Amino acid sequence: YDAGLDANDVAVLDDSFWDHPLTLRYGVGENLYGHAAIAAFRAGRTPAQHASRARRLEKTIITTFGRDFATANTEYVLLGNGRRGRQSQSWVRTEAGWKVVAAHVSMLAEPG
């Protein structure tokens, strides 16, 4: 997933999310409900918008619950401006493989 995110490989990103209307992604400036809305958001990003999101991950924690459910949580730092953010994902093993069923991305308030 992260390699697809770094390369802005929309096909990989689309395939990483559960293809279902109940899939959700709460972003920094948008709330997306359903795989179609998430895919449209990804497809609509310009190269400049993508480039501004280059980041370094920190404090990544992946926790499994049984064999078919996991959470992935990480902090990140935007390389362009040093702002800090957070990302949380819930992953479920489906017949088609591991898929994100819920995601959340947020930025921390700038200091001062």
Q: Which domains does the chain possess?
A: 2-107 (3.10.450.50)
pTM of the predicted model as reported, rounded to 2 decimal places: 0.86
The string of pLDDT tens digits covering residues 50-107 is 666 788 999 999 999 999 999 999 999 999 889 999 999 999 999 999 999 999 999 9
The set of residues, in sequence order, having a beta carbon less than 8 Å from that of 63 and lying 6+ positions away, is: 70, 71, 73
Question: For residues 25 and 7, what is the distance between their CA atoms, to the nearest angstrom?
Answer: 19
